[in-house]
Amino acid sequence: MILLANGKLITRDGAGTGFYPDGGVVTDGGKIVAVGTTAELKAQYPQAEFVDAKGGVIMPGLINAHTHIYSALARGLSIAGNNPTNFFEVLDGTWWAIDRHLDMEATKASAQALVIDSIKQGVTTIFDHHASFCEIPGSLMKIAEVTQEYGMRACLCYEVSDRDGDEKSIQSVQENKDFIDYCEKNPSDMLKALFGGHALFTISDKTFDRMVAANNGRVGFHIHVSEGMNDVYDSLQNYGRRPVQRLQDHDILGSKTLLGHCIHVNTAEMDIIKATDTMCVNNPESNMGNAVGISPILQLCQKGILVGMGTDAYTNDMLESLKVALCSQRHNACAPNVAWCEVTDMLFRNNAKIANRSFETPLGVLKPGAAADVIVMDYKPYTPFSDENIDGHMLFGMTGRQCQTTMINGKIVMKDRVLTQIDEEAVNAHVLESSKRLWGQLNHREY
Ligand SMILES: [Zn+2]
């Protein structure tokens, strides 16, 4: 039993932020058993191990609803001759080039790098969308070994695509099936599966049929939709329908399915997303970096569609994404008074709802019975800080790297910036060697 207290507590339970000026949580096993003031909890649970938040902000662990472990080794990489002039060239010249070189060892190193960086930025749950077309079979289990060992809550999938031919496409369908089978046989609320799909323009009708058959209604799908206009053109030209209509015709939509991006969706497509209770995930920095457009978040939210926030692995800092989400929506709308509620809900409320369509234990909230996924931020406000303005502090003051302590499933995985179960320097050295090998293969020279 752990008593994590002596901080400004934000529970996100109920309508407000659930603020206690001096509070904490008591955890037992993987769950929270009590929430209250520091004094109350100390009196009630004198036997609990005390972890001092040192006046920091205690809040629910952050959830990243869309990321890509496969891109972790790209930080600082430049691929010779790669100068993309459109979104397709970004994919082909950068990300597909990388994933075609990811063998099992490089996939493992990518997972180690991304999971460590996420823990250090207060992320306690990731929804990953993996591709390693060099070596597909077993790649999700390799990632799962890392998330389990490091204590990260994870929902994994493999991105099915026809881009590297029929054999690889069939392997990618099988990889999802095998991993879903594993999760069914070894139920754990730390590890879940979705059925991944790259994007409609690299998935044929036949492949969609294979995906649906292999899944057999067991989990939802996690797929990129209308991230670039090329996805829309492909759908119209080759299938006579817009992408969301095509997904509906293949029975891909539903309450457990997560659609990445949804930038170029029209109102008719939004109505289908709403009617099928399908989820969307916005990735603001990635979208701006790829120059693909701004997702119509305001309209999606107005329709009552569940929209969450991911990073697309552009960063692992959810608070940085929150800032960019607000700025990009306001910039796009030419209106400085919009999107505040939408983007804060996306990160602090909707990501929890999205996560709980896969995970059973309540996430993203600190209350008895919820998951003991708790972070402490080293944030000392120098302006008033209370229930009425906490999200303003999140938007304008707090960054992921202020995370000082991370608890996942009741285990402290980082305490005062030190990883408790991982030799960070040794792992970094290994990841560096793996990066050098990957970069060497891509650029035909030594690093
Ligand atoms: Zn993505």
User: 349: closest CA among 10, 11, 9, 12?
Assistant: 12
Question: Do both 336 and 389 map to the same domain?
Answer: no
CA 281 to ligand 1 center in whole angstroms: 10
Question: What does the CA dihedral 152, 155, 160, 164 come to, rounded to 10 degrees?
Answer: 0
Here the tokens at position 77 are: 């990489």
CA 200 to ligand 1 center in whole angstroms: 13
The phi-psi region of residue 216 (left if phi > 0; otherwise alpha if psi is between -120 and 50; otherwise beta) is: left
With H, G, I as helix, E, B as strand and everything else as coil, classify residue 307.
Answer: strand
Indicate the pLDDT class of residue 288, thresholds 50, 70 and 90: very high
CA dist., res. 188 & res. 362, Å (int): 14
Question: Do both 243 and 313 map to the same domain?
Answer: yes
- Given a cut of 90, whether residue 237 has pLDDT beyond it is yes
**CATH assignment of the domain containing 174:** 3.20.20.140
Question: Do both 206 and 77 map to the same domain?
Answer: yes
Mean pLDDT of 223-231: 97
119-151 burial code (b ≥16 CB/10 A, e <16): bbbbbbbbbbbbbbbbbbeebbebbbebbeebb
Question: Do both 342 and 200 map to the same domain?
Answer: yes
H or E stretch including 148? helix 139-150
Give residue 30's pLDDT.
Answer: 97
Question: Do both 29 and 135 map to the same domain?
Answer: no
For the chain, the C-alpha Rg in angstroms (whole number) is 21
CA 186 to ligand 1 center in whole angstroms: 27
Mean pLDDT of 410-431: 98
Q: pLDDT digit string (tens) for 83-93?
A: 999 999 999 99
CA 312 to ligand 1 center in whole angstroms: 5
Indicate the pLDDT class of residue 94, thresholds 50, 70 and 90: very high
- Given a cut of 90, whether residue 209 has pLDDT beyond it is yes
- Given a cut of 90, whether residue 69 has pLDDT beyond it is yes
With H, G, I as helix, E, B as strand and everything else as coil, classify residue 20.
Answer: strand
User: 132: closest CA among 88, 100, 173, 164?
Assistant: 100
What percent of the chain clears pLDDT 70, i.e. is strictly above it?
100
Question: Do both 90 and 198 map to the same domain?
Answer: yes
CA 52 to ligand 1 center in whole angstroms: 37
Mean pLDDT of 25-35: 98
CA 333 to ligand 1 center in whole angstroms: 24
CA 141 to ligand 1 center in whole angstroms: 20
Give residue 418's pLDDT.
Answer: 98
Q: What is the residue-averaged pLDDT of the chain?
A: 98
Here the tokens at position 217 are: 């209604």
C-beta atoms surrounding 117 within 10 Å: 18
CA 323 to ligand 1 center in whole angstroms: 19
Indicate the pLDDT class of residue 220, thresholds 50, 70 and 90: very high
Residue with tokens 């790209």: 74
Question: How far is residue 122 CA from its own chain's centroid?
Answer: 12
Write out the residue range of the structural domain in which residue 281 sits: 68-355
1-34 burial code (b ≥16 CB/10 A, e <16): ebbbbbbbbbbbbeeebbbbeebbbbbeebbbbb
Mean pLDDT of 152-172: 98
Mean pLDDT of 410-429: 98
Q: pLDDT digit string (tens) for 290-339?
A: 999 999 999 999 999 999 999 999 999 999 999 999 999 999 999 999 99
Burial of 107 (0-12, 13-18, 19+ CB in 10 A): buried
Mean pLDDT of 93-97: 97
- Given a cut of 90, whether residue 425 has pLDDT beyond it is yes
Question: Do both 75 and 102 map to the same domain?
Answer: yes
Q: pLDDT digit string (tens) for 33-50?
A: 999 999 999 999 999 999
Contact 278, 257 (CB under 8 A): yes
Does some domain include residue 435?
no
Q: Which DSSP string corresponds to 18-87?
A: -EEEEEEEEEETTEEEEEEEHHHHHHH-TTSEEEE-TT-EEEEPEEEEEE-GGGGGGTT---TT---SSH
Does some domain include residue 393?
yes
CA 311 to ligand 1 center in whole angstroms: 8
Give residue 15's pLDDT.
Answer: 81
CA 165 to ligand 1 center in whole angstroms: 21
Q: What is the pTM of this model?
A: 0.98
Please say whether the dihedral angle defined by the alpha carbons of residues 98, 100, 105 and 111, taken in this order, is positive or negative: positive
User: Domain count of the chain?
Assistant: 2
**CATH assignment of the domain containing 407:** 2.30.40.10
Question: Do both 309 and 167 map to the same domain?
Answer: yes
CA 43 to ligand 1 center in whole angstroms: 47
Indicate the pLDDT class of residue 377, thresholds 50, 70 and 90: very high
Question: Do both 392 and 333 map to the same domain?
Answer: no
CA 443 to ligand 1 center in whole angstroms: 24
Mean pLDDT of 58-64: 98
CA 422 to ligand 1 center in whole angstroms: 28
Does some domain include residue 427?
no
Does some domain include residue 443?
no
CA 344 to ligand 1 center in whole angstroms: 21
Indicate the pLDDT class of residue 5, thresholds 50, 70 and 90: very high
Residue with tokens 């505040």: 340
Max Cα–Cα distance, the chain, nearest Å: 68
Does some domain include residue 254?
yes
Question: Do both 317 and 381 map to the same domain?
Answer: no
Mean pLDDT of 242-270: 98
With H, G, I as helix, E, B as strand and everything else as coil, classify residue 363.
Answer: coil
Does some domain include residue 444?
no
Give residue 16's pLDDT.
Answer: 84
CA 50 to ligand 1 center in whole angstroms: 40
Does some domain include residue 335?
yes
Please say whether the dihedral angle defined by the alpha carbons of residues 171, 174, 179 and 185, taken in this order, is positive or negative: negative
Question: Do both 206 and 238 map to the same domain?
Answer: yes
Question: Do both 192 and 328 map to the same domain?
Answer: yes
Does some domain include residue 426?
no
Contact 258, 282 (CB under 8 A): no
What percent of the chain clears pLDDT 90, i.e. is strictly above it?
99
CA 3 to ligand 1 center in whole angstroms: 37
CA 61 to ligand 1 center in whole angstroms: 22
- Given a cut of 90, whether residue 153 has pLDDT beyond it is yes
